[in-house]
């Protein structure tokens, strides 16, 4: 065996061992499903602009909202943080409430953990005094907003390069399979929902439930813009397209989807 062949074999073996080790560590069945009523933020990632839709041309125009909301452009940090609290934190309502600086430190520890990794029950960060993220965020919204990540993280998320490559029906079919697998393991995926290069939608959603019919796959989502009501994202099997309904920031129609905050091997 030549030196090059030995080097290739060693590289292949190391790659296999790394993939196997990560898979055993990262692919995990969580003990419970994501619950919209307790595992989401109580506050909204608001809209900086008002969106005006022209149904004839299907064009969208914007105008500034007056007064400008305090908390905008945080959809990616909000969706990511909801997943991190679900995976890495454990709420303990029986424990006494602590001071804000302690909570600030606990929040920082949660959002510092890799959203693509798993945490066992005994290694979860304990949040005392509250029954879940919704209750916690209703009581401490500013702390969570300040510590969960800045708006710049919505613009410079490391997976944004993917939308520039383009999407095929086959890719979207494969993405559906991956998303369903994650939801089945109680690992709610965060997705980038986009129309590129138009950018008439450029948003993040967390998917936590799925229903299959003969013609469609329907995902129930937590939308950081709408903290009170779950939203629906639908995949049409015949056209191999995702569709998202009209709402205050999107005219409705076809979108492209890919998962973010995902380990490279999954």
Residue 194, classed as helix, strand or coil, is strand
The pLDDT, as a whole number, for residue 240 is: 97
The pLDDT, as a whole number, for residue 156 is: 55
Question: Which residues pair with residue 205 across a beta bridge?
Answer: 191
User: Which two tokens mark 255?
Assistant: 């979108």
List CB contacts of 5: < 8 A, sequence separation 6 or more.
none
The pLDDT, as a whole number, for residue 19 is: 37
The pLDDT, as a whole number, for residue 155 is: 53
Do 47 and 73 meet the contact criterion of CB atoms below 8 Å apart?
Answer: no
How far apart CA 88 and CA 172 sit, in angstroms, is 29
How far apart CA 174 and CA 176 sit, in angstroms, is 5
How far apart CA 125 and CA 245 sit, in angstroms, is 37
The pLDDT, as a whole number, for residue 177 is: 96
User: Which two tokens mark 5?
Assistant: 């062949």
The pLDDT, as a whole number, for residue 25 is: 42
The pLDDT, as a whole number, for residue 160 is: 58
List CB contacts of 79: < 8 A, sequence separation 6 or more.
190, 204, 205, 206, 222, 224
Do 233 and 207 meet the contact criterion of CB atoms below 8 Å apart?
Answer: yes
The pLDDT, as a whole number, for residue 165 is: 66
* Whether the bond into 197 is cis, omega within 30 of 0: yes
pLDDT string in tens for the chain (266-residue length): 443 333 333 333 333 333 333 333 444 678 899 999 999 999 999 999 899 999 898 889 999 999 999 999 999 999 999 999 999 999 999 999 999 999 999 999 999 999 988 888 899 999 999 999 999 999 999 999 999 987 656 555 555 555 666 678 999 999 999 999 999 999 999 999 998 766 778 899 999 999 999 899 999 999 999 999 999 999 999 999 999 999 999 999 999 999 998 765 34
How far apart CA 181 and CA 259 sit, in angstroms, is 12
CA quadruple 61, 149, 45, 146: dihedral sign: negative
The pLDDT, as a whole number, for residue 195 is: 86
The pLDDT, as a whole number, for residue 167 is: 75
* Phi, psi dihedral angles at 252 (to 5 degrees): 100, 150
């Amino acid at each position: 065996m030549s030196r090059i062949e030995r080097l290739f074999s060693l590289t292949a073996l190391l790659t296999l061992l790394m993939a196997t080790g990560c898979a055993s560590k990262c692919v995990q069945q969580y003990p419970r499903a994501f619950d919209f009523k307790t595992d989401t933020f109580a506050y909204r990632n608001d809209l900086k602009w008002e969106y005006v839709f022209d149904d004839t041309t299907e064009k969208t125009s914007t105008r500034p909202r007056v007064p400008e909301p305090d908390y905008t452009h945080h959809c990616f940090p909000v969706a990511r943080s909801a997943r991190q609290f679900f995976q890495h934190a454990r709420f303990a309502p029986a424990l006494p409430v602590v001071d804000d600086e302690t909570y600030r430190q606990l929040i920082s520890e949660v959002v510092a953990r890799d959203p693509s990794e798993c945490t066992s029950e005994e290694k979860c960060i304990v949040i005392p005094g509250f029954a879940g993220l919704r209750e916690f965020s209703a009581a401490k919204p500013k702390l969570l907003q300040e510590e969960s990540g800045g708006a710049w993280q919505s613009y410079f998320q490391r997976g944004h390069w993917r939308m520039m490559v383009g999407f095929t029906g086959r890719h979207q079919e494969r993405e559906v399979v991956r998303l369903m697998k994650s939801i089945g393991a109680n690992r709610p995926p965060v997705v980038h929902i986009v129309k590129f290069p138009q950018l008439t939608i450029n948003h993040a959603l967390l998917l936590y439930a799925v229903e299959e019919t003969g013609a469609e796959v329907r995902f129930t989502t937590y939308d950081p813009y709408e903290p009170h009501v779950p939203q629906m994202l639908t995949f049409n099997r015949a056209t191999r397209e995702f569709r998202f309904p009209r709402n205050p920031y999107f005219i409705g129609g076809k979108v492209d989807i890919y998962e973010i905050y995902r380990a490279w091997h999954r």
